[in-house]
A = this chain, B = another copy of it.
Amino acid sequence: MTKIKVGVAGYGVIGQRLADGVALQEDMELIGVADVAPTLSIQALFEKGMPYDLYTADPGKKHLLTDAGIPVSGTLEELIGKVDIMLDSSPGGIGAKNKEIYVKNNVKAVFQGGEKNEVADIFFHGYANYEKGIGADYLKLTSCNTTGLIRTIDAIDREFGVEKVAMTIIRRVADPGDYHRGLTNALMVDKAPSHQAVDLMTIMPHINATGILVHTPVTHGHIITPIVSTKNKISKDDLLEMFRKHPRIRVVKLADGFLGNASLFKYARDLGNPRGDMYEVAVWEESIVKSGDDIMFAINIPQESVVIPESIDAIRAAMKMQMTREEGTEATNRYLGMKA
């Protein structure tokens, strides 16, 4: 089997997790990663002994890396020359600039949520519209909140038909170790509707979605509370059964000690998952309530790692590795060690 050759541009919070995720896929080969400066993540890569080759994303600033003693294997363009597809997790806006090099080199790319939709031909989610990504050249992933949310909404939609979603997004304001985006003793309200609702409607145009987003001063996971109106009647047990068998949804219980977003982070650390990451979103069993015919529940979104599986799905679709969502997502899940 020829392995699909993959490069990663931007070795930050998302990029290093993309690299790790790709490295686990037995039908893919991670050729290298690209970044500009010796950030903590790059310093850690170096201390680990450079398990991934590093390319400079800005040849004019190669000295930033070499001065810090970090070995550089070449330039971003050289990396691009060696791969079939790039995962671009550069800071917002840089991906659009990188795209020019991808196009010039005739290399496909998957962008992250920080880029504008125009950067890509397809706004992609592994479960909701895998087929649209098949053979596409440029795909953009949904953002972390939307990726996790759509897993649940898509699952409900396929079995019960979703007509409407109104949600509250209780957003973690920064990742652990991020000193630049803090918030102290305040809840901050965004202009409604939130972009996550708009994005959901772009991916799933038959659904009417809206939502209010509130930023909170925590770092371990967003919590979303959607209220979902379905075409066919749905019970709490229906929802539980459906979510329990979903490979990327984990049903947890307050009664078991999963008291909030920090419990899931703690649990993933105790599991020994690298970085304390978790690919699954979680739904609290005791949060599920009916509101008339509608159903409401609380989802935990592990913002640092949740988009990794769907990003890998995007490679599978773009490279025509699997031609159906079932086969594509199943392969990703298997190599990531998630439940079948």
Contact = CB atoms under 8 A, between A and B. Distances in A.
Interface in A292-330: 292, 294, 296-298
Oligomeric state, in number of copies?
Answer: 4
A287 interface: yes
A185 B216 CA distance: 9
Interface residues of A, number: 83
Given A166-B294, A260-B179, A262-B179, A271 B48 contact: yes
Interface string A168-195: 1010111111110111111111111100
B214 A170 contact: yes
A257 interface: yes
B270 A275 contact: yes
Q: Among A41, A168, A267, which residue has the most Cβ atoms of chain B within 10 A?
A: A168
Q: Among A175, A192, A292, which residue has the most Cβ atoms of chain B within 10 A?
A: A192
Interface stretch (A111-119, A148-156, A220-228): A220-228
Contacts of A193: 289
Given A217-B184, A258-B40, A212 B225 contact: yes
A100 interface: no
Interface of A: 16, 38-41, 43-45, 47-48, 163-164, 166, 168, 170, 172-179, 181-193, 208, 210-212, 214-221, 223, 225, 227, 229, 254, 256-263, 265-267, 269-272, 274-276, 284, 286-292, 294, 296-298
